[in-house]
Each structure stands twice: as structure tokens, then as C-alpha cells.
């Protein structure tokens, strides 16, 4: 692969990525390389939310290549997603006026709930279109769509899977893979963590640690985003023919609806 680097660099693909991320090594130096990532990465690096950005360059084929510090560490486990360090980093991101202003300058779009639902319905497999339970959930989402007011809008990550949280050997926590970052309701991010990692009995306690008091409005928004997130996961698992995981998500969705 030709990444237009100086002589002496050895490049290898990073496992689990989609062919756009690499490790570069030269002598004792090691860096993380990625093609065509978000220009928002510079602001995230400056705030210490992602590993330090070293340089950015446009290579011969027109792609933009970035280099970051290589961090020795590991991704979080699913059980670690309930930890206070996750809550506090996410709270810091959502409350950052600087990050919000920079992302507004880069891409001022706000992702509205209606567009999120439309994204789910786009190219929905026929088998899922015919599922009566899932159709019932979609109808409920259409009829109970939250109204997103400007005061709520913050930077959202969009994919808070535990594999996108990097715990360095130094015990510093980073959040990586910001390609889906957009301005939206922060409770979308919050709901992603709640429905995927936190028992429902602990939701109110988790929210208090995050800085929110459970009330009717918050509960309705979390329920709406949580149901949509599970629909998206069900769609993804069906497309990859992971039917066991898909059915587990359907059961989780049923529990949220029945609560």
C-alpha cells in the first residue's frame, strides 16, 4: 500500500478496522495512521479526548492521511462500560462548548430524530419490514418523536461501542473512531450506553452520575432513542446474518417497551 511516507516506514493494517487504519513503525517509533478521518479530530486531540495528532497530509491519490501517537493499551470490556471514568469522559464531551463550536464550523448540520428514523427505514430488509413487532415499534417511534430544541444539542459520538474506548497502560481513557460525530441530542449517546451495557434497574443511578435527574421528559427521550438504537442493531445483525445476536436484541427491545 502506498501511503506516501518517508523511506524506512513499515506499514501494517490494524485488525478490526475497515482497511483505512494502519500501524506505522520505523526503528523504535510507532504511530497510528488513518485515511480520510474527520477534520474534527484535531480539536479532539487538542482536548486530550483522542491520542495526540502528530500530522495531517494529503497523499498522491487524494486521500487525507493522519498520524497519531500510538497508545499501548486495550479496549474496554462490556462490563467496564458502567464505570465512572466512562461517564465522566462522556459528560465532559457533551458539556464542551469548544467542541460544539468547532464542529458547528466544520459541519453545522444537526441530526434530528426524524432523520435517525429515516436512516433506519432506508434499505430495510424485506424480512424486517414484514415483522409485526418491529413495525409496531416503528409506528410508536413515529407517533412519539421527541422535539429537539437547540439548547439540548451537543457533540455526539454516534457509536459508543466498548471497542471504541481505549484504556492506555497509563490508565488514561480515550474515545476513538469519531467518523460518525455530529451535532445531536446527547441522550442519543447516553441511550446507546444504557441499552447496551447498563441494567435498567441502574439507569437512574447512572444518569445521576452523568449529571441528569430522571424525569418524564428525560425518560421519554431515552426510551425513544434506546428503541431506535436497538432497531439499528437488529438491522445490522440481520444484514450480517448474526441471527442469534439479532434475536437477543429483539428480546432487549421487548423489555424496554414492556417497562
Catalytic residues: 159
Q: Which cell goes with 117?
A: 428514523
Q: Which cell goes with 63?
A: 486521500
Residue 61 φ/ψ, nearest 5 degrees: -85, 5
Place of cell 493494517: 13
Radius of gyration (Cα) for the chain, nearest Å? 20
Residues 6+ apart with CB under 8 A from 159: 177, 180, 192
165-168/73-75 β-pairing: antiparallel
Q: If you ran DSSP here, which 8-state letter would residue 201 be given?
A: G
Q: Nearest CA to 39 among 99, 116, 91, 89?
A: 99
Please say whether the beta carbons of 164 and 48 come within 8 A.
Answer: no
In DSSP terms, 65 is beta-bridged to 35, 57
Three-class secondary structure assignment of 230-241: HHHHHHHHHHCC
Amino acid at each position: 500500500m502506498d501511503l506516501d511516507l518517508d523511506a524506512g516506514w513499515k506499514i501494517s493494517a490494524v485488525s478490526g478496522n475497515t482497511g483505512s487504519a494502519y500501524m506505522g513503525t520505523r526503528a523504535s517509533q510507532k504511530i497510528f495512521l488513518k485515511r480520510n478521518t474527520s477534520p474534527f479530530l484535531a480539536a479532539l486531540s487538542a482536548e486530550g479526548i483522542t491520542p495526540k495528532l502528530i500530522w495531517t497530509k494529503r497523499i498522491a491519490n487524494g486521500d487525507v492521511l493522519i498520524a497519531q501517537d500510538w497508545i499501548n493499551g486495550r479496549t474496554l470490556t462490556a462490563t467496564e462500560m458502567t464505570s465512572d471514568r466512562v461517564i465522566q469522559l462522556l459528560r465532559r464531551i457533551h458539556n464542551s462548548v469548544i467542541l460544539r463550536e468547532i464542529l458547528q464550523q466544520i459541519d453545522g448540520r444537526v441530526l434530528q430524530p426524524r432523520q435517525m428514523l429515516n436512516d433506519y427505514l432506508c434499505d430495510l430488509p424485506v424480512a424486517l419490514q414484514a415483522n409485526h413487532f418491529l413495525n409496531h415499534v416503528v409506528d410508536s417511534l413515529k407517533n412519539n418523536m421527541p422535539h429537539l430544541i437547540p439548547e439540548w444539542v451537543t457533540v455526539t459520538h454516534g457509536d459508543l461501542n466498548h471497542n471504541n474506548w481505549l484504556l492506555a497502560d497509563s490508565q488514561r481513557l480515550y474515545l476513538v473512531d469519531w467518523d460518525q460525530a455530529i451535532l445531536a441530542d446527547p441522550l442519543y449517546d447516553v441511550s446507546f450506553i444504557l441499552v447496551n451495557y447498563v441494567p435498567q434497574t441502574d439507569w437512574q443511578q447512572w444518569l445521576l452520575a452523568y449529571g441528569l435527574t430522571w424525569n418524564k421528559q428525560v425518560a421519554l427521550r431515552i426510551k425513544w432513542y434506546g428503541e431506535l438504537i436497538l432497531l439499528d442493531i437488529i438491522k445490522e445483525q440481520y444484514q450480517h446474518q448474526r441471527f442469534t445476536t439479532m434475536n437477543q436484541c429483539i428480546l432487549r427491545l421487548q423489555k424496554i417497551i414492556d417497562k
